[in-house]
Chains A and B, each alone.
Chain A
Amino acid sequence: MRLTIPEHEIMTPGHLACQGCGGALAMRYMLKVFGKDTMLSIPACCWAVIDGPFPYTSLNVPVFHTAFETAAIMASGIKAGLMVQGKDTTNVVAWAGDGGTFDIGIQAISGAAERNDDVTYIVYDNEAYMNTGIQRSSATPHGAWTTTTPVKHYKKGPKKNMAEIMAAHRIPYTATASVGYPEDFCKKLERAKNTKGFKFIHVLAPCPTGWKSDPRFTIKLAKLAVQTNYFPLYEIIDGIHYKQTVKVKERKPLKEYLKYQGRFKHLPEDQVQFLQDFVDENYELLRMKLE
């Protein structure tokens, strides 16, 4: 079997992520594929800390730490600066959390996408504001506990569909990925790296701290999210051509995924069913678009 995940490591193990952090894993894969000719724009999020405190860095590529809502435009500005100096080949990657993407940063992302700036935007989605202590974001799923959606008032309403929003901009490449499927993730990174214009990858990155899950289950959860159709893996070319990249023959019940996460422990049976129906309905919507 041919190994599709590059062997070399760019990120170093001295980073500050919690044990079992899906976001740290996602960065490791991204840098393997993108390589040394890469610069990062990182806004406020867990990764602003994970990189390490001044004067340290765990990333071995240039990093510009930026304001919470500016990951996309910071990448665009960096890219423009490089282009006027003839350094067109350097990959510029905006690397942000779900809060910085789905919520506060969405305006700048939409701007960069509409202009089709030649940068790659990657959101590592841990489904809440983890850096500030697990507050809900618009990526938090229905039913989840967070510190601003306590058990009695758990999050109501669906997770925002960011991939659809990006596809509506008709950008050249949009994809979903999961750290549980590294080969699929790396292929998508490779594709993004080789595509001109605005690329958007939404990678599900389990967070043991915020999901109240066992760190050893990070990969298991990242796989179950896909196998239950909670987080289907697909890519969208030019905003219209949908392709599922990891096919699920028979979807597992959502319960299988929820049971490893303390953040859903309080959910009554009817709400689990509600969430299950929502997942199925969402998948059905996606299935209709698949080519």
Chain B
Amino acid sequence: MKKTMMGNYAASWGAQLARVQVIAAYPITPQTLIVEKLSDIVADGELDAKFIKVESEHSAMAACIGASATGARAYTATSAQGLALMHEMLHWAGLARLPIVMANVNRAMAPGWSIWADQNDSLSQRDTGWMQIYASSAQEILDSTLIGYKVSEKVLLPTLISFDAFFLSHTMEVVDMPDIELVDKYLPPYKPDYKLDVNDPRSFGALTDEQYYYEFRYMMQKAMDEAVDIIKEAGKEYEKITGRLYDLIHPYRCEDADMILVTSGTIADTTNVAVDELRAEGKKVGNLRIRVIRPYPKKEILEVVKGVKKLAVIDRNISPGYSGIFSQELKSALYNEVDIPARSYIAGLGGRDVKIEDIKDIANDALKNDATNDLIWKGVKI
């Protein structure tokens, strides 16, 4: 069934179709609509779930962790300051290996107060043990929620689905809602091997000395490694029921490209249009959208970029004192493997619009100039 809806509601419907059992959430712009919608869905009895209206995001994540530890499917959604407040519990969910799925509307961190698109909120949580997806359409938000649970429950790692404030959260798009019967077959109820169970009493997360802790981290890394293939399989299986294929990376016109732009989020969608226009001008440019940044699909990326003459990364985020984060990640993946000149661009922080022309400017700049490790700030007014 097709419906027109905002990206936020696609997240709510995704949670409903996944038959989440416990929701714990706290309002924050621009995420609020997700949980408002879910409150309605639960209140109307369309979803058999318990909704805990917590007093903070820190508690929202803690409640999801507790619920998930009992074997229930748990969901929450947040943004920026809320995600930052959860930080301690994000580690907890990751290290406790709990398959929670969360939506995060990418919003700039304060101060100054900003509610607009920027990926620094979720990228600052990169090392907490969550798989991280960056969606570029409302449809993908819904689909990623279902695929997210499928993968999370298999590898026992939580999934964060991030998408740009307003450009996606509040923009109406046509979304195809898969039939619940198909979804139920795709995503059967969560049945963990170990959970809080009075008939099998265990202590979870107890004092763990160095004889064990190290191996726990190793196992977590192995799970992340395995997740690469599991995400691919889950994507293909999802394609069978919906016709829509999701992978860790989405290359666009990269096969014969001389230069590849590396992007994520809504900038990636705009970049596809820019690529078409550049191609019409005879410039052999492609776009590689990184959809999943954890686990990092290094082999897959290498496969796409290895023959290319140049790379240009566009980051709507920055690690102050170094560079854009997608750029760092890409360069470290290529090191020891291939030597491709690259340029790194910062654009669109705090929700500044990144238009087709901006991306074409970036592409032309990258085509014209040599590689550099200096950051290039697109359109900075100072």
Which residues of A line the B interface, CB within 8 A?
A: 36-39, 41, 48-49, 51-57, 59-67, 69-70, 73-85, 87, 90, 107-108, 110-111, 114-115, 117
Contacts and interface: CB of A to CB of B under 8 A. Distances in A.
A41 B66 contact: yes
20 contacts: A39-B196, A51-B207, A56-B203, A57-B202, A63-B202, A63-B203, A64-B205, A65-B206, A67-B88, A70-B89, A76-B63, A77-B24, A80-B72, A81-B69, A83-B50, A84-B50, A85-B72, A108-B56, A111-B55, A114-B55
A66 B21 contact: no
B70 A81 contact: yes
Interface of B: 21-22, 24, 48-50, 52-56, 58-59, 62-72, 74, 88-89, 92, 196-198, 200-209, 212
Majority-rule SS of A interface residues: mixed
A105 to B, nearest CB: 10
A80 B65 contact: no
Contacts of A81: 21-22, 66-72, 74, 196
B92 A67 contact: yes
Given A54-B206, A81-B22, A81-B68, A73 B196 contact: no
Contacts of B71: 81, 85
Contacts of A66: 62, 65-66, 92, 205
A27 to B, nearest CB: 13
Contacts of A90: 198
A73 B206 contact: no
Given A66-B65, A67-B92, 13 more contacts: A51-B206, A52-B206, A55-B206, A62-B204, A64-B69, A66-B62, A74-B65, A80-B22, A81-B71, A81-B196, A82-B70, A87-B70, A111-B59
Contact of B63 (A60, A62, A80): A80
A108 B55 contact: yes
Select the residue from A36, A65, A75 with max chain B CB neighbours within 10 A.
A65
A157 B24 CA distance: 38
A85 B69 CA distance: 12
Contacts of B196: 39, 62, 64, 78, 81
Contact of B52 (A48, A60, A77): A77
A93 to B, nearest CB: 12
Contact of B203 (A52, A67, A76): A52
Contacts of A67: 62, 88-89, 92
A246 to B, nearest CB: 32
A51 B56 CA distance: 29
Nearest to A39: B196
A171 to B, nearest CB: 15
A77 B92 CA distance: 14
A64 B62 CA distance: 11
B198 A73 contact: no
Given A39-B196, A85-B72, A111-B56, A59 B203 contact: yes
B62 A73 contact: yes
B70 to A, nearest CB: 3
A73 B62 CA distance: 6
B15 to A, nearest CB: 14
Given A77-B24, A78-B70, A62 B202 contact: yes
A80 B55 contact: no
Contact of A74 (B62, B74, B202, B206): B62
Contacts of B201: 36, 57, 59-63
B114 to A, nearest CB: 26
Nearest to B48: A84
A78 B32 CA distance: 24
A78 B62 CA distance: 10
Contact of B59 (A49, A52, A108): A108
Given A84-B21, A84-B49, A107 B66 contact: no
A77 B66 contact: yes
